[in-house]
A and B are shown apart, each in its own frame.
Chain A
Amino acid sequence: MSAAAERTPSRPFLHGVAGRLLIGFLTVAVVPLAAVFLILHGLTEDALRRELTARLAALADGRANQIETYFRERQRDVTALSRRPDVAEALDAFAEAAERAGVGSGAHRAADGRFRPVFRHFLETKGFSDLFLITPDGTAVFSVARWEDPGSNLYTGLWRDTQLARVFDRAKTLMGTEVSEFAFYSVTDEPAAFVAAPIFRGTRIVGVVALQVSNDSFYRVVGDFTGLGRTGETEVGARTATGATVIAPLRHDAFAAFRRTARFDGFENMPLLDAVRGLAGAGGAVDYRGQAVVAAWRYLPTLNAGMVVKMDEAEAFAPVARQRSLLLALAGGVLTLVAGAAVLVARTISRPITTLTGAARAVAAGDLTQSALVESDDEIGAFARTFNRMVADLRRTYETVEEQVVVRTEQLRRSERRLRSLLEESPVGIAVTALEDGRCLFFNRSYAAMRGLPAGEGAGEGIREGAGEGEGRGAPDVAGAFADGDGFARLTAALRAQGRIDDLETLCRRADGTVWWALIHGRPLEFEGQPALILWHYDITARVAAEGALREAKNEAETALTTLRATQESLVQAEKMASLSQLVAGVAHEINTPIGVALTAATTLARWSGDFSGKMEHGGLTKADARRFAADAVEASGLIQLNIERAAELVRGFKQVAVDQTSAERRPFELDSYIQEVLLSLRPRLKKAPQTVEVSCPPGILLDSYPGALAQVLTNLIMNSLIHAYAEGQPGRILIAAEERPDGTVELVHRDDGRGIPEADLKRVFDPFFTTRRNAGGTGLGLHIVYNIVTRTLCGTIAVDSRPGEGTAFTLRFPANPLPPAPGPAPEDRRVRSGA
């Protein structure tokens, strides 16, 4: 990396020291700040909201109380009025006048003149707008404001079904002062509420006095916004069939009375609907303006109406918002402070580091005159001082280097001279030639001696194409060293193919014409700045001569071995014939008896026949004679037939074994019966021996193999046991056991209980010509033949196991269906199990 590239690092700010410090500081500041904010927000704000809502609820209680009290006072006023004697008097006067002369008559007007000022004064002072005097049957006989209307009956006339009629009925029936609902009053085309009280004389009801509540004074009560801030108001609504109707003007809608309604199946103004249904509560809601408000709602029993006291959420929860913005401002301030502090600290740390980095870059670029300004006593100051010391050290080191170079060069030159003299004195002939033009650049003394050159004339020799040319010049060069062109050709070929020369043996010629064998190694190298080839020469003339002698001796030994093999083959053949002669002897012996019996019988029959025919001719033949002859002839001929058949059977069996033994034919056969046939052929020999042979072989083992070979093997093993295992006349038992193994091979064990084989001999029993009874006529080939047949013909293995004094066991394993025998040498694998 160049110095210029180092000077402009593309490192993001946040990965620098200052950035990390800033992030760290902010994290440390933000976490507690956030915690404090959340806690304050979650706890105090919630509490604040609850408190504000509760305050509004209390306000609503007060306002409901105020409205109830307002009507309660109107009720008391009316009750007090109803008990005044002049009211009963007035009622009587009006009723009498109305009844007697009709409304508007002189008497009626007189009563009017007398009482109207009194009642008007009462209305003005107590906040009512009209007064009615009503007789028990419902006739309104006097009204202050509507003087033209009196005379109507409340049940039938102008006021039918008005709140006035209802409150009159109620006051009369309940016998108490009653307040009507606040409803639209069709007579005056505006909302109205009435208070009615029965008028008693003594204990009797003589009529009802009803007063219309002044809307203005009621609206003033409702429209009192004390404690409701800028947006708060009181909403009073009466229940209708489908919902509620606002019955007093609103702060935000002066004409709301009996114009604004809310429906039970709508979504707006739920508090008012709850209130008219008789439920009280407090909480957030959306009002008729679609504004989010905090509301508290109550039911007003006197008016049978609902009341909602509400305030815009924005205003009600202003303290909450204020607290939140205060907290946010505080948090912002703290964060700014922290950020400032972080930047300040970061700069006091990063600026000296930047200075140091600049100095370090200059030093890296090779300017050793640099030194960093040290201003502080902290870790960075210590670092800067260390850096300065390091640069000073570096500068000193640089100055001493040049002197050392001179010393080192002289040392190098001396070393080279040492190396050259080492090469010069090496017993190996070393030559260096230039690859370019074949010039010999260097050769040592040994090389010169090998080639018969005067020492020290190394330079000037070269490799040339073609040996002849070099010889033609008489110059001692590399090519000229070879006795023929072949050596040089092989050298160049190896160099081209592998880039090196290894173990090149070639005949060379010296300058005086004598030849020598050379072993040459070669490697390419750079010699004094040019491509060259170094060659090492070894004189191997003596070794080559010794190798020749060795090769001749080996040839002779091979010839001898071939002769020996031939002899062995003939001996094996002889052994085979010997076992065949055994067979023949067996045959002869076996068929001797039946033939002999047959012959005797035939002879006797012939004699009897002669006697019989003589008697017949001479006439001395009795009937008894004839009968006896016939019987004898039948018996004799039967005997003859039986024995001849027996002989024929024997011959057939022998023939099979003999054929097998002489031919190497492969055929399928059954193992058990074949072993029996082989034993039959050996019976003459076995008869003479005191030892017995037992066979343990399950019937039904079918082989497709070479029965002749197997017969040979069994014969040899039995004969081997009979001859070697037992002393003269010693009884014994030979067991031949065979079994089929699951892997498709057959295991056949031949075991005797004779003297056994000494351990020293055990390893050699299968060797040809190894015998312990050479003097007794042993050939030493019996077990060797067995070994060869088992391993080659039967494709199996054989092992011997013996313990002196306890007997010997041969274990054979061979496939029931072997592959055809492969031509070639027998495997030299001899499995010998020691009996130890």
Chain B
Amino acid sequence: MGRSRTWKLLAAALVLLAAAAGAAWWTRGGQEPVKVGILHSLTGTMAFSETAVVDATLFAIEEINARGGLLGGRRIVPVVADGRSDWPTFAAEAERLITREAVSVVFGCWTSASRKTVRPVFEKHGHLLFYPVQYEGLETSPAIVYTGAAPNQQIIPAVKWAMDKLGTRFYLVGSDYVFPRTANAIIKDQVAALRGAVVGEDYLLLGATDMDAVVARIAAAKPDVILNTINGDSNIAFFRALRAAGITAAAIPTISFSIAEGELQTMTVAELAGDYAAWNYFQSVDTPENRGFVERFRARFGAGRVTSDPMEAAYLGVHLWAQAVEKAGRTDPQAVREAAGNQSFPAPEGVVVLDPETRHTWKGVRIGRIRTDGQFDVVWDSGKPIRPVPYPVYRSKADWDHFLDGLYTGWNGHWANPGTAGARP
């Protein structure tokens, strides 16, 4: 009797142990989710461009979750914050995502002004930002991974190509913040190096709609090419005014650096057809990776949606981050930063590789001509990934830093002309 009871107790203990082990095994796969921040303007003048990037970021997160999440079953949970096209708000939201939401990484920012405002926040916390937009360069930060183009991957080849193919007289027009100012500084250096001429230079406040004066000056200057670094919805007014003044793409072609498929959706495409844009990615890129990406994105968000370079850069950024997490085996920013170097990913634009020195990506360069359907015909293609060079070789790093300081102090400690306050929501 006592013997059989001992056996029963032993069997019960064994069953309990097995159950506990099973439970442990079961819950092992479903550990706490990984929180990530998404910081973009959902309202304001930049919402027009940035909301699509949010969609692309969420799309990549969904893809990773759908194939089982990270580190053996941890789901990624996005926390979306609104920067409201307002740089201090960006900084405050970044602070909130890092300290209050305790996210593992932040995917976000479009304008260089917003990036430069949040940069000290990320550096202070030793945190990590994945920045998805082509920009003016002149920056490397241990806290930021740049998945968009450096100047040598967009601006410089575009200008050189324009010089070879379109003409040597340039008119520069841009929004009045750090990216257009810096880009144009680089362009002026390059044009000078190439024995071309800059015949005019104009800056508009972000969100400005009065283009008559600018267009009048352009018409008077008669450049061969207009290099456009206007950001946001001011582009609509600009092109309308340009065409209104009789300046067609055939007469004076424009090369834009911030107009992609998404922006074309909101504009009258006929007004832009024949103009150019320089990007690393176009929706029309014909690779198996891109065809699949466009198909899946449209299946998820609707057949009418388009994909664009910043969206693609955001998408590949999430994947590079996920690969780095898998390699590190952890999600904390420091470990992920270390593991991110040399990660390669077959992105829709082609293979991208993260350069460990600059934390920029090797990317191919393309120049496209706008078609009447809002898509692009690729007219030049680098054919292989180009090493990122954030600091153009025309000046030393110290000279560039000095140049940026000048802008910053000129704008009273802002990265955009404070006059842009009018454009804020």
Q: Which of B161, B353, B394 is close to A278, meaning CB atoms less than 8 Å apart?
A: B353
A310 sits at the interface (CB 8 A): no
Contact A280 B346 (CB under 8 A): no
CA distance A170 to B389 in the complex (A): 14
CA distance A176 to B156 in the complex (A): 10
B399 sits at the interface (CB 8 A): no
* A299: chain B residues within 8 A (beta carbon): 344, 351, 353
Contact A175 B160 (CB under 8 A): yes
Contact A172 B160 (CB under 8 A): yes
Given the contacts A278-B351, A299-B351, A301-B353, A174 and B344 also touching, CB distance less than 8 Å: no
CA distance A278 to B194 in the complex (A): 35
Q: Which of B164, B342, B352, B362 is close to A173, meaning CB atoms less than 8 Å apart?
A: B164
Q: Which of A61, A277, A304 is close to B346, meaning CB atoms less than 8 Å apart?
A: A277
B189 sits at the interface (CB 8 A): yes
B393 sits at the interface (CB 8 A): yes
B345 sits at the interface (CB 8 A): yes
B384 sits at the interface (CB 8 A): yes
B343 sits at the interface (CB 8 A): yes
Contact A301 B194 (CB under 8 A): no
B365 sits at the interface (CB 8 A): yes
Considering the complex, give the chain B residue whose CB is closest to the CB of A65.
B342
B161, B190, B351, B389 interface centre (most CB from chain A within 10 Å) = B351
* B152: chain A residues within 8 A (beta carbon): 174-176
Q: Which residue numbers of A lie inside 8 Å of B, CB to CB?
A: 61, 64-65, 166, 170, 172-176, 178, 181, 200, 203-205, 277-280, 298-299, 301-302, 304
Chain A's nearest CB lies how many Å from the CB of B225?
Answer: 15
Contact A278 B344 (CB under 8 A): yes
Q: Which of A170, A176, A301, A304 is close to B393, meaning CB atoms less than 8 Å apart?
A: A176
14 A-B residue pairs with CB within 8 Å: A65-B342, A166-B383, A170-B386, A173-B157, A173-B160, A173-B161, A174-B365, A176-B389, A181-B384, A203-B189, A203-B192, A205-B193, A299-B351, A299-B353
Considering the complex, give the chain A residue whose CB is closest to the CB of B351.
A278
> Beyond A175-B160, A279-B344: 9 further Cβ-contacts under 8 Å?
A174-B160, A174-B382, A176-B393, A181-B384, A204-B193, A277-B351, A280-B344, A301-B385, A301-B387
* B156: chain A residues within 8 A (beta carbon): 174-176
| Contacting residues of chain B (329-351) with chain A, CB-CB under 8 angstroms | 342-347, 350-351
CA distance A64 to B195 in the complex (A): 40
B156, B190, B353, B389 interface centre (most CB from chain A within 10 Å) = B353
* A301: chain B residues within 8 A (beta carbon): 344, 351, 353, 362, 385, 387
Chain B's nearest CB lies how many Å from the CB of A162?
Answer: 13
Q: Lowest 5 A-B CB distances belong to which pairs?
A: A278-B351, A278-B346, A299-B344, A203-B193, A304-B384
CA distance A696 to B277 in the complex (A): 127
Contact A278 B393 (CB under 8 A): no
* B194: chain A residues within 8 A (beta carbon): 204-205
Considering the complex, give the chain A residue whose CB is closest to the CB of B345.
A278
Contact A304 B189 (CB under 8 A): no
CA distance A301 to B382 in the complex (A): 13
* B344: chain A residues within 8 A (beta carbon): 278-280, 298-299, 301
Interface string of B159-187 (1 = CB under 8 A from A): 01100100000000000000000000000
Chain B's nearest CB lies how many Å from the CB of A245?
Answer: 15
* A298: chain B residues within 8 A (beta carbon): 342, 344
Contact B161 A280 (CB under 8 A): no
* B380: chain A residues within 8 A (beta carbon): 173
A61, A174, A181 interface centre (most CB from chain B within 10 Å) = A174
CA distance A175 to B394 in the complex (A): 10
CA distance A61 to B356 in the complex (A): 13
Considering the complex, give the chain A residue whose CB is closest to the CB of B386.
A174
* A279: chain B residues within 8 A (beta carbon): 344-346
* A278: chain B residues within 8 A (beta carbon): 344-347, 350-353
CA distance A204 to B389 in the complex (A): 19
Considering the complex, give the chain B residue whose CB is closest to the CB of A278.
B351
CA distance A65 to B353 in the complex (A): 13
Chain B interface size band reads: 35 or more
B195, B385, B394 interface centre (most CB from chain A within 10 Å) = B385
A166, A277, A298, A301 interface centre (most CB from chain B within 10 Å) = A301
CA distance A277 to B344 in the complex (A): 9
* A181: chain B residues within 8 A (beta carbon): 384
Chain A's nearest CB lies how many Å from the CB of B295?
Answer: 18
Considering the complex, give the chain B residue whose CB is closest to the CB of A276.
B351
Chain A's nearest CB lies how many Å from the CB of B379?
Answer: 12
CA distance A298 to B351 in the complex (A): 12
CA distance A726 to B393 in the complex (A): 157
CA distance A310 to B189 in the complex (A): 47
CA distance A174 to B153 in the complex (A): 8
Q: Which of A170, A200, A205 is close to B382, meaning CB atoms less than 8 Å apart?
A: A170
Considering the complex, give the chain B residue whose CB is closest to the CB of A279.
B346
Given the contacts A173-B157, A277-B351, A299-B344, A204 and B385 also touching, CB distance less than 8 Å: no
Considering the complex, give the chain B residue whose CB is closest to the CB of A275.
B344
Chain B's nearest CB lies how many Å from the CB of A200?
Answer: 7
Q: Which of B342, B345, B394 is close to A64, meaning CB atoms less than 8 Å apart?
A: B342
| Contacting residues of chain B (361-386) with chain A, CB-CB under 8 angstroms | 362, 365, 380, 382-386
CA distance A478 to B384 in the complex (A): 143
Contact A200 B384 (CB under 8 A): no
Contact B342 A175 (CB under 8 A): no
Contact B346 A175 (CB under 8 A): no
Contact B192 A61 (CB under 8 A): no
* B346: chain A residues within 8 A (beta carbon): 277-279
CA distance A302 to B385 in the complex (A): 7
* A172: chain B residues within 8 A (beta carbon): 160
Considering the complex, give the chain B residue whose CB is closest to the CB of A181.
B384
* B342: chain A residues within 8 A (beta carbon): 61, 64-65, 280, 298
CA distance A170 to B386 in the complex (A): 9
* A175: chain B residues within 8 A (beta carbon): 152, 156, 160, 190, 193, 393
Chain A's nearest CB lies how many Å from the CB of B316?
Answer: 10
Chain B's nearest CB lies how many Å from the CB of A243?
Answer: 13
Interface string of B127-170 (1 = CB under 8 A from A): 00000000000000000000000001000110011001000000
CA distance A301 to B385 in the complex (A): 6
Chain B's nearest CB lies how many Å from the CB of A717?
Answer: 77
CA distance A174 to B384 in the complex (A): 12
CA distance A58 to B150 in the complex (A): 29
A173, A204, A304 interface centre (most CB from chain B within 10 Å) = A173
CA distance A278 to B316 in the complex (A): 12
CA distance A200 to B393 in the complex (A): 11
CA distance A239 to B20 in the complex (A): 51
Chain A's nearest CB lies how many Å from the CB of B255?
Answer: 14
Interface string of B403-422 (1 = CB under 8 A from A): 00000000000000000000
* B386: chain A residues within 8 A (beta carbon): 170, 174, 178
Chain B's nearest CB lies how many Å from the CB of A302?
Answer: 7
* B343: chain A residues within 8 A (beta carbon): 280
Given the contacts A64-B342, A174-B386, A176-B393, A304 and B193 also touching, CB distance less than 8 Å: no
CA distance A298 to B393 in the complex (A): 29
| Contacting residues of chain B (187-228) with chain A, CB-CB under 8 angstroms | 189-190, 192-195
Chain A's nearest CB lies how many Å from the CB of B228?
Answer: 20
CA distance A730 to B323 in the complex (A): 129
CA distance A298 to B353 in the complex (A): 10
Considering the complex, give the chain A residue whose CB is closest to the CB of B327.
A280
Considering the complex, give the chain A residue whose CB is closest to the CB of B191.
A203
* A173: chain B residues within 8 A (beta carbon): 157, 160-161, 164, 380, 382
Considering the complex, give the chain B residue whose CB is closest to the CB of A57.
B327
CA distance A172 to B362 in the complex (A): 18
Chain A's nearest CB lies how many Å from the CB of B387?
Answer: 7
Contact B351 A200 (CB under 8 A): no
CA distance A279 to B320 in the complex (A): 11
Considering the complex, give the chain A residue whose CB is closest to the CB of B367.
A173
Chain A's nearest CB lies how many Å from the CB of B94?
Answer: 31
CA distance A279 to B394 in the complex (A): 35
CA distance A173 to B344 in the complex (A): 25
Chain B's nearest CB lies how many Å from the CB of A226?
Answer: 20
